[in-house]
Every structure is written in C-alpha cells, then in structure tokens.
Copies of this chain bind each other. A is one copy, B any other.
Amino acid sequence: MSSPAAARGEKAASQTLKAVLKLRDLIVSGELAPGERVPELQMVERLDVSRTPVRAALMRLEQENLVEALPGGGYAVRRLSEPDILVSIEMRGTLEGLAGRLAAERGVSAAHLAEAGEILDGIDRIVRPLDLDIDLALYVDLNAGFHALIAEMAGSPALTLEIERVAAMPFASPSALVPLEAGSPATHHVLTIAQEQHRTALEAIAAREGSRAEAILREHARNAQRNLRRALASGRQLMELAGGRGR
C-alpha cells in the first residue's frame, strides 16, 4: 500500500492494531449488526488494510467475544443479550474476588498497599466533596487502576491476564457502566458506595481476611450489574452501543 501512513499523522501503530480498533468500533457502535456476517474482503476496503491483518483482527475479536466463528468458516458479530453481559460482569467479580482472596492469603507488599491507598485517596478527592460536578474521566482512570492493582496483588500473571480478558468483554469492564450523567446526585451516590467497597476490600486484603475480601469484591462487581439494569430500564441507549439489537 502507501508507504508512510504515519507521516500523515495517522495513529496506527500496526495495521493489525488499526484493524482491531476499527473493527471493534464498528461492532460496538452497531454499524455491524449482531448476527451479521463479517466478510473479510468487505472489511479490507472498509478498514483499509489487507486481508492478513483483517484475519488477525477477527481472531483477536473472537477471543474478546465480540465475534464468533461460524461452523462453515468465517465470522459473525456476536449477539449479546442482557443476561450474557450480566454473566460477564459476574465472572469479572468472581475472578477479582479470587484475586482479592489470594492477595489476602498470601499477603501483599507494603508498596502495593501504599499504591492502592493513594489511588483510593485520589478517588476520595473526587467523590467526597459535595460538589456534584465529578470528573468522571479521572474517576474511570483511577478506578481502572485500582482494579488492575487488585489483580496484580494476587501475584499471578495468569490470573491477571484472565481478569483482563474477561474485563475486555463488552460492558464487563469495571469502568464500563460509569457513564451516568456527570452532575446527578444518583451518580454521586453510586460512586460513594463503590468507593466504600474499595476501601473495605483493601482493608480486608491488608488484614489478610481472604473470604471477606472475596465477598466484597464480588458484591462490588454487582454494582455494575445494577447500573446496567438501571441504564437499560431508563432507555435502550446502552444496548444500541452494544450492537444495536433493540429488543
């Protein structure tokens, strides 16, 4: 193809990454309908890469549960039902709970505890003030950092990787369902509760109370389930993001 794509200020590091990003966007934005077939050649023109990275991207998205391999060959956009998403969240909670328990049982370094504490302090500074105008972007950042840290504290790369994998599933990320309106009291309330769970979970880990940490982290993920249900009840927007299937 053309030689210096980067010279024009394009953002693609590798063609495969470019394809993954674009494809994921097409699916999540609903431009590719659930159940729809994803022909490679069509994607070649739509994504402006050759077949090779398209195929690589499809394989990766298969791992992410965004597309499924068809028995006869090829791929189709996965249909995501509400229960599917709820289970994904439950899986994340379960695995994060496992991570928390392992971290508690094995004990974690002071450095880890300190780092986690700092993140939580940061969240406090966002959530504690009665100022309703919350910096959601910053919250999402810190929140993701805290969850990543919990995974890491278990000291098992395999577990960390698995949590990441599950969290990559649509709407299963710890930060996926925060998009409530930035100014509302409901948002403030939800975040306050979540932060309290962060605190107690970290406390339990520090105190080496394994099952307590596990239970809290599981329950913590259920916040996301509740948020999802509420978002769905108050309008289908999220489902459209998930891939359009209004139903």
Residues of B within 8 A of A91 (CB): 95, 98, 158-159, 162
- How many subunits of this chain does the assembly comprise? 2
Tell me the minimal C-beta distance from A224 to chain B in angstroms. 15
Residues of B within 8 A of A65 (CB): 158, 161
Partner of A73, one of B1, B73, B157: B1
Residues of B within 8 A of A59 (CB): 56, 59-60
Residues of B within 8 A of A98 (CB): 90-91, 94
Contact B73 A102 (CB under 8 A): no
* Count of chain A residues near B, Cβ 8 A: 31
Given contacts A59-B59, A87-B159, 18 further A-B contacts (CB under 8 A): A1-B73, A2-B71, A55-B56, A56-B59, A59-B60, A65-B158, A83-B155, A84-B158, A87-B156, A87-B158, A91-B98, A91-B159, A94-B94, A94-B95, A94-B98, A95-B95, A158-B169, A165-B165
Flag whether A88 is at the interface (Cβ < 8 A). yes
Interface residues of A, dominant DSSP: helix
Flag whether A200 is at the interface (Cβ < 8 A). no
Residues of B within 8 A of A184 (CB): none
Residues of B within 8 A of A158 (CB): 65, 84, 87-88, 91, 169
Residues of B within 8 A of A159 (CB): 87, 91
Q: Which residues of chain A from 56 to 80 have any CB-CB distance to chain B below 8 Å in the complex?
A: 56, 59-60, 63, 65, 71, 73
Closest to A87 in B: B156
Tell me the minimal C-beta distance from A75 to chain B in angstroms. 12
Q: Which residues of chain A from 175 to 189 have any CB-CB distance to chain B below 8 Å in the complex?
A: none
Known: A98-B94, A161-B65. A83 touches B169 (CB 8 A): no
Residues of B within 8 A of A157 (CB): 84
